[in-house]
Amino acid sequence: MTSLPKFLFPKPIITDFTLQNLPYGVFRSQNGSNRIGVAIGDKVLDCSVLAEKGLLPSYFKEPTLNTFMSQNRDTWREVRSKLQKILSDDAPESLKNVPNLINEALREQKEVTMIDPAHIGDYTDFYASREHATNVGVMFRGKENALMPNWLHIPVGYHGRASSVRVNQDLRRPHGQTVTPQEPETPKFGPSARIDFEVEMGAFVRGGNEPGKPMTLEEAEDNLFGLVLLNDWSARDIQKWEYVPLGPFLSKSFGSTISPWIVTLEALEPFRCSTPAQNDPLPLPYIRQSDGMKGGYDVKLECSIQPENENQDHTVCTTNIKYMYWSLAQQLTHHASNGCPIRAGDLIGTGTISGPTEDSFGSMLELSWAGSKDVKVGSQVRKFIQDNDTVIIRGTCEKDNIRIGFGECRSKLLPAL
């Protein structure tokens, strides 16, 4: 199978959205309705049109992907196979054979507005990168106490604010309480001075476990629908003051940005890989991976900053989700282990993904080492994000002539009100 249908793209183009990918999203049409779409090259296939013609299930006429997410993996595979045939050059079901339908069902990506792909009922952010947790621990507790005693036993997470998760949103610099080294116990209220990005990935899930019923690791694997890029913004100065004893609150809830296209786990199957070794200590049996289980994914991540009034963005770090210690399935299994019901459209964040080298640290907190170093951004420098900076995260996989991309997770930091 070629990477793009020639009847739509007679000339080759470089794209994240090949026939091997076919990610799902939701766009707003010119008449104001929200419609499910699939990205192919620089175009969007309007799935609601295909559903109206009986070529896809009726839930593709809905304004979100929640019902489709609630189906099982066999259904996801069946729909994916059908879409590949519809967009192929030589299958009997190909749009090539129905010219009028091509005009009705295809849109240019640049002409549509992408919106939230699902109703996100709940959002949980984890802390699954050992390198990131170690770096932060060294900064705040010293090298000897970098990892908390529970970290190698439990996928640490916290419940986030789903209402502030948005596709490629612009954010306001938030207000909150902060303290200074000179007055460490006397807070002041005002705009955060230390806004930071966090390079993460988010997993949309199927859910369906009854209240009180946990999931096995295998069931969790089958509950993972697909991945997006995620920038889980942080106000580090607010966070430092508020996170003891119950964890982050206002420092995180002001905004989390996701990319618009959900890349399915089926598309990412060729890029599965093993997680880092988990043998010292061994995880408890309910989240212990079997020998040879490949719970990770080889997805290259890049974060860049585009300063105000510049046309170019500048890479500040490159990392990979394969560095993540706790797998997505382990995170979801632990989430449901107390009987917490998971629902279709819930979002799980990986936490900041950092690698073993300084240029693979996934946050400005680490890149600037808590503000003690300058981070080069083109001809400028940063310690944290400045007003009107745009932060862009990209993700790609390439192997054996297969290219899968995620598009962009893009967000501008606006000045505080």
Nearest to 2 by CA among 74, 75, 94: 94
Catalytic residue among 132, 159, 175, 334: 132
What count of other Cβ atoms lies within 10 Å of the Cβ of residue 321?
A: 27
| Same domain (yes/no): 276, 242 | yes
- Which pLDDT belongs to residue 401? 86
Domain boundary among 87, 115, 143: 115
Q: Residue 198 corresponds to which tokens in the numbers above?
A: 């966090």
- Which pLDDT belongs to residue 361? 98
User: What is the span of the domain harbouring residue 148?
Assistant: 123-414
Asked if 159 is an active-site residue, the reply is: no
| Same domain (yes/no): 39, 153 | no
Judge whether 305 lies within some domain.
yes
CATH number at residue 91: 2.30.30.230
| Same domain (yes/no): 75, 141 | no
| Same domain (yes/no): 78, 172 | no
Domain boundary among 75, 99, 115: 115
Average pLDDT, the chain: 96
Cα gap 282→368, rounded to integer Å: 33
Judge whether 7 lies within some domain.
no
| Same domain (yes/no): 98, 132 | no
Domains: count for the chain = 2
Q: What is the pTM of this model?
A: 0.97
- Which pLDDT belongs to residue 2? 55
- Which pLDDT belongs to residue 1? 43
Judge whether 4 lies within some domain.
no
Question: In 79-181, where do the E strands start and end?
Answer: 106-108, 113-115, 123-126, 157-160, 165-167, 171-172, 175-178
| Same domain (yes/no): 316, 179 | yes
State how far the alpha carbon of 108 is from the alpha carbons of 29, 183, 330, 355, in Å.
Answer: 11, 55, 38, 36
Cα gap 364→385, rounded to integer Å: 8
Residue numbers of the chain with a pLDDT score lower than 50: 1
